[in-house]
Structure 1
Amino acid sequence: MKSTQAVELTEVTKHYAHGVTALDDVTIGFGLGTFTAVMGPSGSGKSTLLQCAAGLDRPSSGRVVVDGRDLATLGDRKLTLLRRDRIGFVFQSFNLLPSLTAEQNVALPLRLAGRRPDRELVRRSLAAVGLAERGRHRPAEMSGGQQQRVAIARALVTRPAVLFADEPTGALDAGTSREVLRLMRDLVDGQAQTIIMVTHDPIAASYADRVVFLADGRFYGELHDPTAELVATRMLQLEAASC
């Protein structure tokens, strides 16, 4: 029977040097076609959770399954291929190449994979983020919000099973942030895209179906159908408890 989870972490622990435990026995699943925000105080393990879930870092113990593949069973080459073909990444910095047009930036993952870019696929990816008419523009000719949408289109061009977003609106103003968050919400509702987003912003988290909270590397509960007010209240409680 096919799993309903796009990503599953089971008893995941991650130790770093000098006795630092970034994740401590975390078990959590992320359903197919859902939008999850991951939140917690500074040092709570949010980024480590994303890195382990996306196969960017290996846990010290525990099991991570992405798109039905147990990452512990994959060698470096197969893990690289999984990340390239089935996982998309969006970060706070857009990481667009300034000398390339929007179309060329979106096509880059296909070229790096040794595939000849399908121009229609690239154009559809840009159209999906509302930039069908900006394909020939370079990053300097676009606003910050448009650049982030190009970065999202680039992440979607390989049709990933999961899109990981690390503070995707952190460098944007409030109005532009709302545009990007509405786009991500539409991708989930309209295309059943699975999105896992690390954020510190309760307003950003309110666009998700569910908010997962971490503190001191441990799972500290969740909210479904969150509002910004409920998320902010929960964060204040967590921050007070971790002081």
Structure 2
Amino acid sequence: MADRVLRLESLSRSYGKQETKVHALRDVNLDIPRGSFVAVMGPSGSGKSTLLHCASGLDRPTSGSVLLDDVDLTTLSELELTELRRTRIGFVFQDYNLIPALTTEQNIGLPQWLGGRKPSKGDISRVLSWVGLESLRHRRPSEMSGGQQQRVAIARALVTEPEVLFADEPTGALDSNSGRELLQLLRWMVDEQHSTIVMVTHDPVVAAVTDRVLFLADGQIVDVLDLPTAEAAAARMAQLEAGAS
């Protein structure tokens, strides 16, 4: 693929030993094009979050490679991997993971502080404008709604202009209106800022906002749906949950 930003090659991840071993991922091969919005769906226990964690460098695979452009994450030391996650990869969790005592702009600048760099006011103002929170820069998490807190978490993930943004059920803790607004923001990030987003979701309506859906079952990619509709994603999920791969 000419403009691939991420490649997984024969990626496997297992936990436990001998007869208790669980194979969370089995020989996964995948290319993610730059500037695309990809959803990952599958039944509970299919390996969705493990795939996201291995692809983003939060977890190490048992075997195989994760290539971010020309860098193989599996060959990096823990220190090198930490630096790469701070500068080239963004991650958004379902539960926000904001620091309660910090303001919005302090939470956004935290990755740079932790990396020994003073956050740029210009960078923080730019991502605040992207997520529509310029007026809330001095508020703390307890003074904001769930949707606003998730927007802060996205701004924090975007402040270093990562090559890939990973999101694990980013709308899972939000009400329907906040979830819809968040999806519009993510879609805008891909269309207007040319971001690359890989998102785990269980919701076919959420998946329908993306360019492509990857379906996992038993740790393997068993189907791909381009330009998905909610109806088509729901139908495929129903088949997988019924045990038909």
TM-score by length of 2: 0.96
Select 2:154's aligned residue among 152, 155, 160: 152
Task: Check conservation: 2:169, 2:200, Cα contact below 8 A.
Answer: yes
Alpha-carbon distance in structure 2 between the residues aligned to 1:100 and 1:72: 33
Deviations 1:23-71 (A, max 9, x none): 1111111110100000000000001101110111111111110132111
Select 1:29's aligned residue among 28, 31, 39: 31
Select 1:230's aligned residue among 225, 229, 232: 232
Residue matched to 1:105:
107
Q: 1:242: how far off?
A: 5.7
Q: 1:10: how far off?
A: 1.0
Alpha-carbon distance in structure 2 between the residues aligned to 1:128 and 1:235: 33
Residue matched to 1:64:
66
Residue matched to 2:52:
50
Residue matched to 1:14:
13
RMSD: 1.3
Residue matched to 1:88:
90
SS in 2 for 1:163: strand
Residue matched to 2:193:
191
Residue matched to 1:202:
204
Alpha-carbon distance in structure 1 between the residues aligned to 2:138 and 2:12: 45
Runs of 4+ in structure 1 off by over 6 angstroms are none
Deviations 1:132-158 (A, max 9, x none): 111111112211101100100000011
Alpha-carbon distance in structure 2 between the residues aligned to 1:47 and 1:102: 27
| Structure 2 stretches lacking a partner, 5+ long | none
Identity score, percent: 57
Alpha-carbon distance in structure 1 between the residues aligned to 2:11 and 2:161: 27
Q: What are the equivalent positions in structure 2 for 1:135-174 lying under 5 Å apart? A: 135-174=137-176
SS in 2 for 1:109: helix
Alpha-carbon distance in structure 2 between the residues aligned to 1:161 and 1:172: 26
Task: Check conservation: 1:124, 1:132, Cα contact below 8 A.
Answer: no
Task: Check conservation: 1:39, 1:46, Cα contact below 8 A.
Answer: yes
Q: 1:72: how far off?
A: 2.3
SS in 2 for 1:193: coil
Q: 1:225: how far off?
A: 0.7
Corresponding letter in the other structure for 2:212? R
Alpha-carbon distance in structure 2 between the residues aligned to 1:226 and 1:95: 30
Q: 1:160: how far off?
A: 0.5
Q: What are the equivalent positions in structure 2 for 1:109-124 lying under 5 Å apart? A: 109-124=111-126
Alpha-carbon distance in structure 1 between the residues aligned to 2:4 and 2:49: 20
Q: How many residues align?
A: 242
Task: Check conservation: 1:102, 1:138, Cα contact below 8 A.
Answer: yes
SS in 1 for 2:5: strand
| Structure 1 stretches lacking a partner, 5+ long | none
Corresponding letter in the other structure for 2:23? T
Residue matched to 2:3:
4
Alpha-carbon distance in structure 1 between the residues aligned to 2:26 and 2:174: 32
TM-score by length of 1: 0.96
